Amino acid sequence: MAQTGVVKPKRTLAEKLNEEHIAGMICTAPFTIGFLLFMIVPMLISAYYAFCDFDILSPAVWTGLANFKTMFSEAKFWKSLGVTFYFAFVSVPLRLVFALIVALILLRTTKITALYRAVYYLPSIIGGSVAVAILWKRMFGNDGTVNVLLRMLGFEGKIKWFGQPGTAMWTLIILAVWQFGSSMLIFLSALKQIPASLYEAGEIDGANKVQQFFRITLPLLTPTIFFNLVMQMINGFLAFTQCYIITQGKPMNSTLFYTVYMYQQSFEFYKAGYGAALAWVMLVVIAMFTGLLFATKRFWVYEDKR
């Protein structure tokens, strides 16, 4: 590299390209181009549809704020928004705690942990398949596995998991927690990144395992926890499959996810303009929460200040 610098004009170019602010733009250019080429246009089109009456089959007609007015007066909109908040705020923390615990358990490297990791990751692979949908209904059914187990534990009476508005939601939350695989993988690789020397030093200082976890592992893991939290929260708000394949919002819209409501309006009732308006409202909601999370970042996320 040093030799190429001998020729003068070339050197200035190479140097220029090497300057941090130029290099930064070059490195991020793929995203900049991709964003401008593939994302911005569809996003603008959908933003336009949000102000239109658009049934997919005929040209969109500008209706101004009509979609938003309908939306805010629609009981189903508020209902699905509430359901989605409930789902996101319950399932995301549960999923992350679960993923972290399992990642810690499977951190030790033995031959068999490789298999265990695969086993624990499998549910995330088969995610939204028909088989899961059928089986989930079967497991939480009236005579399903869950009720049989509860009876063995001494609980009397059959719980109608899907039949009651209060419990139906929990079957979806459990499904979401069950698929903790991707967060687990991210935790696993982050845990592997923590230098062993830190633990050695901790041991010399006489810290036990629990102390090591709270003083070394957890602080160093906070950037990953933050990342998982942001991603899973976005995912939680945009959750679709669980509801779509299993409950379809039943009973009485008590499990109607926002995205499923949006999907129903866009593709079943052909109100794609209204659907687009719903999507942009959701974007604003998510952006607000993400902004909030980022604002709290400096209080609890560890940063390498060396």
Residues 152-211 that bind another protein (CB under 8 A): 160, 162-164, 168, 178, 182, 185-186, 188-190, 192-198
Q: Find the shortest distance in angstroms from Cβ 222 to another protein.
A: 11
Task: Determine if 105 is a binding residue for another protein (CB under 8 A).
Answer: yes
Q: What's the CA gap between 47 and 43, in Å, rounded?
A: 6
Q: Which of 6, 9, 21, 153 binds another protein (CB under 8 A)?
A: 21
Among 211, 272, 240, CA closest to 50: 272
Considering beta carbons, is residue 43 or 90 the nearer one to another protein? 43
CA–CA gap between residue 299 and residue 287 (Å, rounded)? 20
Q: Is 28 in the site for another protein (CB under 8 A)?
A: yes
Closer CB to another protein, 189 or 211, in the complex: 189
Tokens of 22: 């130029």
One-letter identity of residue 245: I
Give the H or E element holding residue 156.
Answer: none
Interface positions, 116-155, toward another protein (CB under 8 A): 116-143
CA geometry: angle at 115 spanning 102 and 181, to 5°? 40
Number of other CB atoms surrounding residue 252 within 10 Å: 11
Choose among 247, 22, 208, 85: nearest CA to 13: 22
32 near another protein, rule: CB under 8 A: yes
- The distance of closest approach from Cβ of residue 2 to another protein in the complex, given in angstroms and rounded to an integer, is 5
Does 80 help bind another protein (rule: CB under 8 A)?
A: no
Which H or E element spans position 62? Answer: strand 61-62
What lies within 8 Å, CB to CB, of 125 at 6+ separation is 181
Q: Does 278 bind another protein (CB under 8 A)?
A: yes
Peptide bond just before 93 cis, omega within 30 deg: no
Nearest distance in Å: CB 27, another protein: 3
Of residues 228 through 267, those in contact with another protein by CB under 8 A are 230-231, 234, 238, 240, 247, 250-253, 259, 262-264, 266-267
Q: How far apart are CA 140 and CA 163, in angstroms?
A: 10
Least spacing, CB of residue 184 vs another protein, in Å: 10
Report if residue 304 touches another protein, rule: CB under 8 A: yes
Q: Does 93 bind another protein (CB under 8 A)?
A: no
Q: How far is the CB of 181 from another protein (least distance, A)?
A: 9
Stated length of the chain:
306
- Closer to another protein by Cβ: residue 200 or 211: 200
- What secondary structure letter does DSSP report for 198? H
Does residue 65 bind another protein (CB under 8 A)? no
Which residues are within 8 A (CB) of 145 and not within 5 positions of it... i.e. 6 or more apart?
Answer: 138, 139
Backbone angles phi, psi at 250, to 5 degrees: -75, 160
Position 27 contacts another protein (CB under 8 A): yes
Residue 61 as a binder of another protein (CB under 8 A): the answer is no
Q: How far is the CB of 298 from another protein (least distance, A)?
A: 14
Task: For residue 222, state whether it binds another protein (rule: CB under 8 A).
Answer: no
Selected from 43, 104, 146, 207, the binder of another protein by CB under 8 A is: 43
